[in-house]
Amino acid sequence: MNPILQYLLVERAKSKLKGQVSQEKISKKQIATEVRAGQVELVHALREILFIAIGIFAAGFGLRGFLLPNSFIDGGATGLSLLLRVFYDIPLGVFLIAVNVPFVFLGARVIGTKFAIKSICAILVLAIVVHFLHLPTITEDKLLIAFFGGFFLGLGIGMTMRGGGVIDGTEVLAIYLSRKWHLTVGDILLFINIIIFSIGAYLLSVEVALYAILTYLVAAKTVDYVVDGVEEYIGVTIISEKSEDVRQMITEKMRRACTIYLGKGGYRDNRGTVEIVFTVLTRLEIAKLSTELDKIDKKAFVMMNVVKDIKGGMIKRKPLK
Protein backbone atom coordinates (compact mmCIF):
# COMPACT_ATOMS: atom_id res chain seq x y z
CA MET A 1 0.00 0.00 0.00
CA ASN A 2 1.12 3.56 -0.69
CA PRO A 3 2.79 4.93 2.51
CA ILE A 4 0.88 8.22 2.32
CA LEU A 5 -2.43 6.42 1.85
CA GLN A 6 -1.61 4.05 4.70
CA TYR A 7 -0.75 7.00 6.97
CA LEU A 8 -4.05 8.73 6.13
CA LEU A 9 -6.02 5.53 6.82
CA VAL A 10 -4.27 5.02 10.17
CA GLU A 11 -4.93 8.62 11.21
CA ARG A 12 -8.56 8.29 10.12
CA ALA A 13 -8.89 5.10 12.18
CA LYS A 14 -7.38 6.77 15.28
CA SER A 15 -9.63 9.79 14.90
CA LYS A 16 -12.69 7.59 14.58
CA LEU A 17 -11.76 5.46 17.57
CA LYS A 18 -11.14 8.51 19.78
CA GLY A 19 -14.83 9.29 19.65
CA GLN A 20 -15.68 5.77 20.85
CA VAL A 21 -13.03 4.91 23.46
CA SER A 22 -10.37 6.78 25.40
CA GLN A 23 -6.90 7.31 23.90
CA GLU A 24 -5.26 4.90 26.37
CA LYS A 25 -7.62 2.03 25.53
CA ILE A 26 -7.09 2.07 21.75
CA SER A 27 -5.33 -1.16 20.76
CA LYS A 28 -3.39 -2.02 17.61
CA LYS A 29 -6.04 -4.61 16.75
CA GLN A 30 -8.77 -1.98 16.82
CA ILE A 31 -6.69 0.32 14.61
CA ALA A 32 -5.98 -2.53 12.17
CA THR A 33 -9.71 -3.36 11.98
CA GLU A 34 -10.60 0.28 11.27
CA VAL A 35 -7.84 0.53 8.64
CA ARG A 36 -9.19 -2.54 6.84
CA ALA A 37 -12.68 -1.04 6.97
CA GLY A 38 -11.28 2.21 5.56
CA GLN A 39 -9.58 0.32 2.73
CA VAL A 40 -12.85 -1.39 1.82
CA GLU A 41 -14.75 1.90 1.89
CA LEU A 42 -12.09 3.57 -0.28
CA VAL A 43 -12.10 0.79 -2.88
CA HIS A 44 -15.91 0.80 -3.04
CA ALA A 45 -16.00 4.59 -3.30
CA LEU A 46 -13.51 4.61 -6.18
CA ARG A 47 -15.45 1.88 -7.95
CA GLU A 48 -18.71 3.78 -7.53
CA ILE A 49 -17.12 6.96 -8.88
CA LEU A 50 -15.82 5.02 -11.90
CA PHE A 51 -19.27 3.53 -12.58
CA ILE A 52 -20.95 6.94 -12.31
CA ALA A 53 -18.32 8.57 -14.56
CA ILE A 54 -18.82 5.91 -17.25
CA GLY A 55 -22.58 6.29 -16.88
CA ILE A 56 -22.47 10.08 -17.28
CA PHE A 57 -20.40 9.98 -20.48
CA ALA A 58 -22.42 7.10 -21.96
CA ALA A 59 -25.68 8.97 -21.34
CA GLY A 60 -24.14 12.20 -22.64
CA PHE A 61 -23.04 10.42 -25.82
CA GLY A 62 -26.51 8.94 -26.32
CA LEU A 63 -28.19 12.31 -25.83
CA ARG A 64 -25.81 14.47 -27.86
CA GLY A 65 -24.95 11.94 -30.52
CA PHE A 66 -28.40 10.53 -31.25
CA LEU A 67 -31.49 11.86 -29.47
CA LEU A 68 -30.96 15.61 -29.12
CA PRO A 69 -29.88 16.48 -32.72
CA ASN A 70 -32.87 14.60 -34.11
CA SER A 71 -35.50 15.89 -31.63
CA PHE A 72 -36.17 12.40 -30.30
CA ILE A 73 -37.57 11.84 -26.82
CA ASP A 74 -37.40 9.06 -24.27
CA GLY A 75 -39.33 8.07 -21.16
CA GLY A 76 -38.77 9.23 -17.60
CA ALA A 77 -37.28 12.51 -16.46
CA THR A 78 -34.83 12.51 -19.37
CA GLY A 79 -37.70 12.13 -21.84
CA LEU A 80 -39.58 14.98 -20.19
CA SER A 81 -36.45 17.15 -20.42
CA LEU A 82 -36.05 16.31 -24.11
CA LEU A 83 -39.73 17.09 -24.69
CA LEU A 84 -39.38 20.51 -23.05
CA ARG A 85 -36.20 21.15 -25.05
CA VAL A 86 -38.17 20.76 -28.31
CA PHE A 87 -40.45 23.70 -27.44
CA TYR A 88 -38.12 26.00 -25.49
CA ASP A 89 -34.78 27.31 -26.70
CA ILE A 90 -33.07 26.54 -23.41
CA PRO A 91 -30.06 24.19 -23.04
CA LEU A 92 -31.01 20.60 -22.26
CA GLY A 93 -28.73 20.62 -19.20
CA VAL A 94 -30.94 23.21 -17.53
CA PHE A 95 -34.01 21.02 -18.00
CA LEU A 96 -32.15 17.92 -16.77
CA ILE A 97 -31.32 19.69 -13.52
CA ALA A 98 -34.73 21.36 -13.09
CA VAL A 99 -36.71 18.16 -13.72
CA ASN A 100 -34.51 15.84 -11.65
CA VAL A 101 -33.74 17.98 -8.60
CA PRO A 102 -37.19 17.47 -6.97
CA PHE A 103 -36.76 13.71 -7.39
CA VAL A 104 -33.29 13.86 -5.83
CA PHE A 105 -34.64 15.65 -2.74
CA LEU A 106 -37.33 12.98 -2.55
CA GLY A 107 -34.56 10.36 -2.83
CA ALA A 108 -32.80 11.90 0.18
CA ARG A 109 -35.95 11.23 2.17
CA VAL A 110 -36.79 7.80 0.75
CA ILE A 111 -33.34 6.26 0.26
CA GLY A 112 -30.71 8.36 1.99
CA THR A 113 -28.53 11.47 1.96
CA LYS A 114 -25.51 9.73 0.44
CA PHE A 115 -27.65 8.57 -2.47
CA ALA A 116 -28.98 12.11 -2.99
CA ILE A 117 -25.48 13.66 -2.97
CA LYS A 118 -24.17 11.20 -5.55
CA SER A 119 -27.26 11.69 -7.70
CA ILE A 120 -27.16 15.49 -7.70
CA CYS A 121 -23.44 15.44 -8.53
CA ALA A 122 -24.07 12.99 -11.39
CA ILE A 123 -26.93 15.10 -12.78
CA LEU A 124 -24.89 18.30 -12.59
CA VAL A 125 -21.93 16.72 -14.39
CA LEU A 126 -24.28 15.20 -17.00
CA ALA A 127 -25.78 18.65 -17.61
CA ILE A 128 -22.27 20.07 -18.14
CA VAL A 129 -21.29 17.20 -20.47
CA VAL A 130 -24.47 17.58 -22.54
CA HIS A 131 -23.93 21.35 -22.81
CA PHE A 132 -20.26 21.31 -23.81
CA LEU A 133 -19.97 18.00 -25.67
CA HIS A 134 -20.27 18.60 -29.42
CA LEU A 135 -20.50 15.63 -31.76
CA PRO A 136 -21.00 15.39 -35.53
CA THR A 137 -24.23 13.86 -36.82
CA ILE A 138 -23.69 10.12 -36.47
CA THR A 139 -26.72 8.91 -38.42
CA GLU A 140 -30.02 10.17 -39.78
CA ASP A 141 -31.68 6.77 -39.82
CA LYS A 142 -34.55 7.03 -37.33
CA LEU A 143 -34.43 3.36 -36.37
CA LEU A 144 -30.70 3.55 -35.60
CA ILE A 145 -31.23 6.79 -33.67
CA ALA A 146 -33.95 5.22 -31.52
CA PHE A 147 -32.00 1.99 -30.94
CA PHE A 148 -28.51 3.33 -30.20
CA GLY A 149 -29.79 6.45 -28.46
CA GLY A 150 -31.75 4.17 -26.12
CA PHE A 151 -28.80 1.82 -25.73
CA PHE A 152 -26.27 4.46 -24.66
CA LEU A 153 -28.81 6.25 -22.47
CA GLY A 154 -29.73 2.95 -20.79
CA LEU A 155 -26.04 2.12 -20.36
CA GLY A 156 -25.53 5.47 -18.66
CA ILE A 157 -28.54 5.09 -16.36
CA GLY A 158 -27.55 1.52 -15.47
CA MET A 159 -23.91 2.33 -14.72
CA THR A 160 -24.95 5.27 -12.55
CA MET A 161 -27.31 2.98 -10.63
CA ARG A 162 -24.43 0.52 -10.15
CA GLY A 163 -22.53 3.44 -8.64
CA GLY A 164 -25.33 4.12 -6.16
CA GLY A 165 -26.97 7.13 -7.80
CA VAL A 166 -29.42 8.08 -10.55
CA ILE A 167 -29.48 10.45 -13.51
CA ASP A 168 -33.19 9.84 -14.10
CA GLY A 169 -35.26 10.60 -11.00
CA THR A 170 -38.49 8.86 -11.98
CA GLU A 171 -37.16 5.65 -10.41
CA VAL A 172 -37.13 7.44 -7.05
CA LEU A 173 -40.67 8.74 -7.55
CA ALA A 174 -41.84 5.25 -8.49
CA ILE A 175 -40.31 3.75 -5.32
CA TYR A 176 -41.95 6.43 -3.17
CA LEU A 177 -45.39 6.06 -4.78
CA SER A 178 -45.21 2.25 -4.66
CA ARG A 179 -45.04 2.48 -0.85
CA LYS A 180 -47.99 4.86 -0.75
CA TRP A 181 -50.28 3.25 -3.31
CA HIS A 182 -49.27 -0.41 -2.85
CA LEU A 183 -48.43 -0.73 -6.55
CA THR A 184 -45.29 -2.18 -8.10
CA VAL A 185 -42.46 0.12 -9.21
CA GLY A 186 -42.84 -1.22 -12.76
CA ASP A 187 -46.56 -0.33 -12.88
CA ILE A 188 -45.88 3.24 -11.75
CA LEU A 189 -43.02 3.72 -14.22
CA LEU A 190 -45.27 2.42 -17.00
CA PHE A 191 -48.01 4.88 -15.99
CA ILE A 192 -45.55 7.82 -15.93
CA ASN A 193 -44.12 6.93 -19.33
CA ILE A 194 -47.54 6.47 -20.91
CA ILE A 195 -48.32 10.07 -19.91
CA ILE A 196 -45.02 11.33 -21.42
CA PHE A 197 -45.49 9.38 -24.66
CA SER A 198 -49.10 10.55 -24.97
CA ILE A 199 -48.01 14.18 -24.58
CA GLY A 200 -45.31 13.58 -27.18
CA ALA A 201 -47.82 12.08 -29.60
CA TYR A 202 -50.19 15.04 -29.13
CA LEU A 203 -47.61 17.86 -29.32
CA LEU A 204 -45.16 16.34 -31.82
CA SER A 205 -46.49 13.40 -33.81
CA VAL A 206 -47.54 9.79 -33.37
CA GLU A 207 -44.41 8.69 -35.25
CA VAL A 208 -42.12 10.49 -32.79
CA ALA A 209 -44.01 8.94 -29.87
CA LEU A 210 -43.64 5.45 -31.40
CA TYR A 211 -39.90 5.92 -31.84
CA ALA A 212 -39.78 7.24 -28.25
CA ILE A 213 -41.40 4.01 -27.05
CA LEU A 214 -38.75 2.03 -28.95
CA THR A 215 -36.00 4.17 -27.41
CA TYR A 216 -37.46 3.61 -23.94
CA LEU A 217 -37.73 -0.17 -24.40
CA VAL A 218 -34.11 -0.43 -25.58
CA ALA A 219 -32.94 1.79 -22.69
CA ALA A 220 -34.96 -0.19 -20.12
CA LYS A 221 -33.60 -3.52 -21.35
CA THR A 222 -30.04 -2.17 -21.33
CA VAL A 223 -30.51 -0.95 -17.75
CA ASP A 224 -31.66 -4.46 -16.76
CA TYR A 225 -28.57 -6.03 -18.34
CA VAL A 226 -26.19 -3.53 -16.73
CA VAL A 227 -27.74 -3.66 -13.25
CA ASP A 228 -28.68 -7.35 -13.05
CA GLY A 229 -26.11 -8.79 -15.44
CA VAL A 230 -26.49 -10.66 -18.71
CA GLU A 231 -26.05 -14.01 -17.00
CA GLU A 232 -29.14 -14.94 -15.01
CA TYR A 233 -28.77 -17.06 -11.89
CA ILE A 234 -31.34 -19.58 -10.75
CA GLY A 235 -31.69 -20.78 -7.18
CA VAL A 236 -32.75 -24.44 -7.16
CA THR A 237 -34.27 -26.19 -4.14
CA ILE A 238 -34.54 -29.99 -4.41
CA ILE A 239 -36.40 -32.28 -2.00
CA SER A 240 -35.78 -35.94 -2.68
CA GLU A 241 -35.51 -39.20 -0.78
CA LYS A 242 -32.21 -39.68 -2.62
CA SER A 243 -30.67 -36.43 -1.41
CA GLU A 244 -27.18 -37.90 -1.10
CA ASP A 245 -27.24 -39.00 -4.75
CA VAL A 246 -28.49 -35.55 -5.72
CA ARG A 247 -25.66 -33.94 -3.76
CA GLN A 248 -23.07 -36.12 -5.45
CA MET A 249 -24.54 -35.36 -8.87
CA ILE A 250 -24.36 -31.58 -8.29
CA THR A 251 -20.81 -31.62 -6.90
CA GLU A 252 -19.31 -34.30 -9.18
CA LYS A 253 -21.21 -34.08 -12.49
CA MET A 254 -22.35 -30.46 -12.41
CA ARG A 255 -19.17 -29.47 -10.56
CA ARG A 256 -21.03 -26.95 -8.46
CA ALA A 257 -21.33 -26.38 -4.73
CA CYS A 258 -24.54 -26.95 -2.80
CA THR A 259 -25.96 -26.55 0.69
CA ILE A 260 -27.81 -29.25 2.66
CA TYR A 261 -30.30 -28.32 5.35
CA LEU A 262 -32.92 -30.31 7.25
CA GLY A 263 -36.64 -29.91 6.71
CA LYS A 264 -39.74 -31.56 8.06
CA GLY A 265 -42.75 -32.74 6.06
CA GLY A 266 -46.06 -31.02 6.79
CA TYR A 267 -48.55 -33.00 4.71
CA ARG A 268 -50.79 -35.53 6.50
CA ASP A 269 -48.71 -38.34 7.99
CA ASN A 270 -45.54 -37.41 6.11
CA ARG A 271 -43.97 -35.63 9.10
CA GLY A 272 -40.48 -37.12 8.97
CA THR A 273 -37.29 -35.13 8.49
CA VAL A 274 -35.75 -34.84 5.05
CA GLU A 275 -32.54 -33.36 3.65
CA ILE A 276 -33.14 -30.37 1.36
CA VAL A 277 -30.53 -29.59 -1.29
CA PHE A 278 -30.05 -26.01 -2.43
CA THR A 279 -27.76 -24.81 -5.22
CA VAL A 280 -27.37 -21.84 -7.53
CA LEU A 281 -26.76 -22.35 -11.24
CA THR A 282 -26.83 -20.25 -14.39
CA ARG A 283 -29.89 -20.63 -16.61
CA LEU A 284 -27.69 -22.39 -19.19
CA GLU A 285 -27.06 -25.22 -16.71
CA ILE A 286 -30.71 -25.87 -15.85
CA ALA A 287 -31.29 -28.29 -18.75
CA LYS A 288 -28.36 -30.45 -17.68
CA LEU A 289 -29.55 -30.40 -14.06
CA SER A 290 -33.05 -31.55 -15.09
CA THR A 291 -31.62 -34.42 -17.13
CA GLU A 292 -29.31 -35.62 -14.37
CA LEU A 293 -32.03 -35.24 -11.73
CA ASP A 294 -34.49 -37.36 -13.72
CA LYS A 295 -31.90 -40.13 -13.81
CA ILE A 296 -31.83 -40.15 -10.00
CA ASP A 297 -35.39 -39.38 -8.91
CA LYS A 298 -38.21 -38.41 -11.28
CA LYS A 299 -40.50 -37.76 -8.31
CA ALA A 300 -38.18 -35.21 -6.71
CA PHE A 301 -39.77 -31.89 -5.77
CA VAL A 302 -37.90 -29.06 -7.48
CA MET A 303 -38.43 -25.34 -6.93
CA MET A 304 -36.60 -22.69 -8.98
CA ASN A 305 -36.47 -18.95 -8.50
CA VAL A 306 -34.52 -16.14 -10.16
CA VAL A 307 -31.57 -14.82 -8.16
CA LYS A 308 -30.82 -11.15 -8.91
CA ASP A 309 -27.17 -11.26 -7.95
CA ILE A 310 -24.76 -13.24 -5.83
CA LYS A 311 -21.50 -12.62 -4.05
CA GLY A 312 -18.87 -15.14 -3.03
CA GLY A 313 -19.27 -18.88 -3.32
CA MET A 314 -18.41 -20.92 -6.38
CA ILE A 315 -21.00 -19.85 -8.94
CA LYS A 316 -18.95 -17.05 -10.55
CA ARG A 317 -15.85 -19.18 -10.69
CA LYS A 318 -15.09 -22.02 -13.03
CA PRO A 319 -16.83 -25.32 -12.18
CA LEU A 320 -15.28 -27.32 -9.37
CA LYS A 321 -12.60 -29.78 -10.37
CATH number for the domain harbouring residue 301: 3.30.70.120
pLDDT grade, residue 135 (50/70/90)? confident
Burial 240-269 (b: 16+ CB within 10 A, else e): bebbeebbebbeeebebebeeeeeeeeeee
Is 97 within the bounds of a domain?
A: yes
Residues 219 and 301 in one domain: no
Residues 54 and 109 in one domain: yes
Residues 144 and 258 in one domain: no
Select from 180, 196, 228 the last residue of a domain.
228
Is 12 within the bounds of a domain?
A: no
Pairing of β 233-239 and β 273-282: antiparallel
> What does the pLDDT average to over 6-21?
69
Segments forming the whole domain that contains residue 128: 45-228
Tell me how many domains the chain contains: 2
Report d(CA 241, CA 298) in Å as an integer: 11
Residues 92 and 120 in one domain: yes
Residues 204 and 73 in one domain: yes
Task: Please check the confidence at residue 62 and state whether its pLDDT lies above 50.
Answer: yes
Residues 156 and 81 in one domain: yes
Residues 171 and 299 in one domain: no
Is 317 within the bounds of a domain?
A: no
Is 268 within the bounds of a domain?
A: yes
Is 21 within the bounds of a domain?
A: no
Helix (H, G, I), strand (E, B) or coil at 305: strand
Confidence (pTM): 0.76
**Of 25-29, 37-41, 61-65, 92-96, which gets the smallest average pLDDT?**
25-29
Report d(CA 143, CA 149) in Å as an integer: 10
Select from 228, 251, 269 the last residue of a domain.
228
pLDDT grade, residue 139 (50/70/90)? confident
Select from 211, 228, 245 the last residue of a domain.
228
pLDDT grade, residue 320 (50/70/90)? very low
Is 17 within the bounds of a domain?
A: no
Helix (H, G, I), strand (E, B) or coil at 275: strand
Residues 205 and 97 in one domain: yes
Residues 278 and 143 in one domain: no
Task: Please check the confidence at residue 316 and state whether its pLDDT lies above 60.
Answer: no
Residues 136 and 259 in one domain: no
Q: What CA–CA distances, in Å, run from 208 to 23, 73, 138, 157, 158?
A: 67, 8, 19, 22, 24
Q: What CA–CA distances, in Å, run from 159 to 33, 92, 93, 308?
A: 31, 21, 19, 16
Residues 212 and 269 in one domain: no
Q: Which residues pair with 279 in a beta bridge?
A: 236
Is 23 within the bounds of a domain?
A: no
> What does the pLDDT average to over 82-91?
85
Residues 259 and 126 in one domain: no
Is 137 within the bounds of a domain?
A: yes
Task: Please check the confidence at residue 194 and state whether its pLDDT lies above 80.
Answer: yes
Q: Give residue-wise pLDDT tens across range 228-251.
A: 766 678 899 999 989 999 999 999
What pLDDT score was predicted for residue 23?
57
Cβ atoms 76, 200 nearer than 8 A:
no
Q: Which residues pair with 274 in a beta bridge?
A: 263
What pLDDT score was predicted for residue 248?
93
